[in-house]
């Protein structure tokens, strides 16, 4: 089988499946906190989300406006 026919025979993953795979870790963390009542982890998770949002925002053109914050 040549390379072209092998790539065509592979099913393509939809965007929804790709996003679901990336969010699997987040949903596992939420499930862990909810199931085992680890409420002390909620502030840590919120801080991680805020820091991740800042990293994403700094990668955009408005990033230089955030440097005075740090």
pLDDT of residue 47: 94
CA–CA distance from 47 to each of 43, 44, 60 (Å)?
6, 5, 20
pTM metric for this prediction = 0.51
Contact 58, 66 (CB under 8 A): yes
Find the mean pLDDT for residues 17-37.
84
Range of the domain at 29: 3-69
Q: What is the pLDDT averaged over residues 10-30? A: 78
Which residue in the block uniquely carries the two structure tokens 């969010």?
A: 23
> In the chain, how many domains are there?
1
Q: Is the pLDDT of residue 1 over 70?
A: no
Average pLDDT for 61-66: 74
CA 16/CA 40 separation, integer angstroms: 31
What average pLDDT does the segment 13-27 reach?
Answer: 80
């Amino acid at each position: 089988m040549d390379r072209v026919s092998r790539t065509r025979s592979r099913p393509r993953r939809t965007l929804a499946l790709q996003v679901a795979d990336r969010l699997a870790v987040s949903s596992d963390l939420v499930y862990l906190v909810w199931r085992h009542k680890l409420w002390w982890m909620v502030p840590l998770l919120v801080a991680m989300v805020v820091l991740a949002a800042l990293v994403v925002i700094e990668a955009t053109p408005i990033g230089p406006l955030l440097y005075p914050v740090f």
